[in-house]
Chains A and B, each alone.
Chain A
Amino acid sequence: MDGLRRHKSMFLLPGLLTLLLIIVFPLLFTIRVSFSGWNVSNPEMDFVGGANYVKVLQDSRFWAANLRLVLLAGGTVLIQYLIGFGLALLVWRNVRARRLWRVLFLVPMMTTPVVMAAVWQMIFHESLGPVNDMLAKLGIAPVHWFTEAGPALAALMTVEIWQWTPFMFLLMLAGLLSLPKEPFLAAAIDGAGAWRTFWKVTFPLMAPVSVSAIIIRLIEASKLSDTVYVLTSGGPGSATESPGYYLYLRGLKEQQTGYAGSLSLTYLVLMVITLTIVAALLARAFKVPRQSSKAKEQ
């Protein structure tokens, strides 16, 4: 038995070591760095106490970026959920060429975010892009997509939604396809129409999948930075900066390593707390049944 156990740890060791190297070490290192004044002119692991954290608390640009993220992530994920669920419902049942549709809807997800953002930059280009061209044909004045705060946020959200709705679609379709048939049959027998069937059967049955899908997308969306980098570079001014992009600016562009360390740790703690609360609220809002009772019902 001991021999077997030793063998097991032998096989586990490479994985555990890698995990240690890529997660635990950087985390500990970041914690240490966040208490140092390490920057480009003073690359030293000295100790400055909580000075960096005091600075974080006073950094209004960082907090503005966090608030903006609530809108960016919350707004885009909600719209992604609605569109993704809608599309999944469309191709769920017997639709002509549904396999083709299913693959087609996934195409945006398969492209690289940076490439996508570059393409969308062309689309939203204020004088050369097709969006303003079309708006002009409708008699609407050209929108300053990247030079005004509101339109820039709208453009950023459009790209995010366009790119990640397919992921939501995929999760929701998988969820729909795994639903048992009987509840739908029972609803038909009880005389429920399409609307009632959706609200009383499909939606409650999809609640667990919905919550998971939204959480997964929220985690992903909170990391938003590459699209910002390519599409708006956080501009105009800092109107579209996300925390991820702001961290990149401070840490990598300006090489304020110590300060960026404290920013990222603050951000990490904020995210963990926020997402935990959001997950609990979502589960309550969707009335997700507890595991034990769910298993029996299915």
Chain B
Amino acid sequence: MAQIDIVDVGHTYTAGAEQERWALKPMRLTLEAARTYALVGPSGCGKTTLLNILSGLVKPAQGRLLFDGSDVTALPTKARNIAQVFQFPVIYHSMTVYENLAFPLRCRRWDKARIEARVHQVAEALGLDHRLRQPARRLTADDKQLISLGRGLVRDDVAAVLMDEPLTVIDPQLKLSLRRRIREITEQFRPTVVYVTHDQYEAMSFAQEVLVMKDGRVIQQGTPEQLFEAPASTYVGYFIGSPAMNFLTVERVGGQVTLAGRPLAMAWDVPDAPQIQVGVRPEYVKIVGEPAANVFPTRVRGVRDHGPQRVLEVELAGQLIKVKTPREDGVPATGQILVELPRAKVLPYVDGHLATTPRAADPE
């Protein structure tokens, strides 16, 4: 496993395009060794381009890529010592499971006994140790995907394991268990993992650190907790979380921020700005019985089922927000309910970015 340094790496597929239109804007990132990272974002956000640059499929238009401090920018895929799991399971279908897992080691001319020991170790972790003699092509798609991963893990010196939406073709009921398996296995072998997905839920539940991308930029990097609790921008707030974060436009009257004519206390105050928004997760909005500070009257507009939870759509001062409530609470009998926006969870946003404390007014 290696530390990956991405130094001013940027890429464009059309030569001579101005930098604003590059598929990947020049960026500087460090991916620490033995951590799992998820690149998440909508189609066309540049996550696959970044992955292809890491794997060596795409040579960046500018910048340098370092694995453990040595420059690999010009090296082809083969020389980079990475492993990759593709969207579609790639196995050698003329070989058995054992031969598939042993293949990278045979290519590296390990001796027989060492291969045997290592393959058994990895197969056991993958849960495939009792199927080593079977032809790999007979396995189900999720087991084949495990073989792809296993071929990366058998090499104990692999610099990084890259996963390109590995759960795309897996049946929904198997997705959950396969993701858990992959997570357990990566925790055991601790390679540096870069996992690309457009599914925020997958990213949040898999990775130790999530990088949200948009238009060729990493717009926020953080732990799943940080992304959930403090999205750096309204975009991240919308993208991460289900349902998305609520954003409400508020007014400033005198020195006081107000919503629907009542004062609203936020987690911290912001300097005066033409337009201030507050963000609050649907999970934190509480239905209360008595008026109090930060409690607002709302009108129920709709109810949606979200598995164990219910999502109420309520109108607050002409703006729709969502409230996530446990199923057992039931649907409010009246159309009018009071909701509390807990002060610590009400975050101020200016120009679409999380506003920092009053002193530093720099967005981002």
Residues of the B chain whose Cβ atoms lie less than 8 Å from the Cβ of A196? 107
Q: Are B86 and A186 in contact (CB under 8 A)?
A: yes
The CA of A191 and the CA of B95, in the complex, are separated in Å by: 17
Per-residue interface assignment for chain B, residues 213 to 247, with 1 indicating a CB less than 8 Å from any chain A CB and 0 otherwise: 00000000000000000000000000000000000
- How many residues on B have C-beta within 8 angstroms of the other chain's C-beta atoms? 28
Q: Which of B135-154 contact A (CB under 8 A)?
A: 137-138, 141, 144, 148, 151-152
The CA of A182 and the CA of B138, in the complex, are separated in Å by: 19
Q: Are B90 and A183 in contact (CB under 8 A)?
A: yes
Q: Indicate if B284 sits at the interface (CB-CB under 8 A).
A: no
Q: Indicate if B84 sits at the interface (CB-CB under 8 A).
A: yes
Q: Indicate if A48 sits at the interface (CB-CB under 8 A).
A: no
Q: Are B93 and A189 in contact (CB under 8 A)?
A: no
The CA of A189 and the CA of B83, in the complex, are separated in Å by: 6
Q: Are A191 and B108 in contact (CB under 8 A)?
A: yes
Q: Which of B98-128 contact A (CB under 8 A)?
A: 103-104, 107-108
Residues of the B chain whose Cβ atoms lie less than 8 Å from the Cβ of A6? none
Residues of the B chain whose Cβ atoms lie less than 8 Å from the Cβ of A294? 137
Known contacts A189-B78, A200-B92, A296-B141: A182-B86 contact under CB 8 Å: yes
B94 nearest CB neighbor, chain A only: A204
The CA of A296 and the CA of B78, in the complex, are separated in Å by: 26
The CA of A287 and the CA of B144, in the complex, are separated in Å by: 19
Q: Which of A177-213 contact B (CB under 8 A)?
A: 180, 182-183, 185-186, 188-193, 196, 200-201, 204
The CA of A8 and the CA of B152, in the complex, are separated in Å by: 56
Q: Indicate if B10 sits at the interface (CB-CB under 8 A).
A: no
A193 nearest CB neighbor, chain B only: B107
The CA of A188 and the CA of B107, in the complex, are separated in Å by: 10
Q: Are A293 and B94 in contact (CB under 8 A)?
A: no
Q: Indicate if A297 sits at the interface (CB-CB under 8 A).
A: yes
Residues of the A chain whose Cβ atoms lie less than 8 Å from the Cβ of B141? 296
Per-residue interface assignment for chain A, residues 278 to 298, with 1 indicating a CB less than 8 Å from any chain B CB and 0 otherwise: 000000000101000110111
The CA of A201 and the CA of B94, in the complex, are separated in Å by: 9
The CA of A63 and the CA of B137, in the complex, are separated in Å by: 43
Q: Which of B164-193 contact A (CB under 8 A)?
A: none
The CA of A183 and the CA of B88, in the complex, are separated in Å by: 10
The CA of A297 and the CA of B83, in the complex, are separated in Å by: 19
Q: How far is the CB of B188 from chain A (nearest CB, A)?
A: 21
The CA of A298 and the CA of B141, in the complex, are separated in Å by: 11
Residues of the B chain whose Cβ atoms lie less than 8 Å from the Cβ of A189? 55, 77-78, 82-84, 104, 152
Q: Indicate if B57 sits at the interface (CB-CB under 8 A).
A: yes
21 contacts between A and B (CB under 8 A): A182-B86, A183-B90, A185-B55, A185-B90, A188-B77, A189-B83, A189-B104, A190-B103, A190-B107, A191-B78, A191-B108, A196-B107, A200-B94, A200-B103, A204-B94, A287-B94, A289-B93, A297-B89, A297-B93, A297-B137, A298-B88
> B: which residues have CB within 8 A of A?
55, 57, 76-78, 82-84, 86, 88-95, 103-104, 107-108, 137-138, 141, 144, 148, 151-152
With A190-B107, A289-B137 given, name 20 new contacts (CB 8 A).
A180-B88, A182-B90, A183-B90, A185-B86, A185-B90, A186-B84, A186-B148, A189-B77, A189-B78, A189-B82, A189-B84, A189-B104, A190-B103, A190-B151, A191-B107, A201-B92, A289-B93, A293-B93, A293-B138, A297-B89
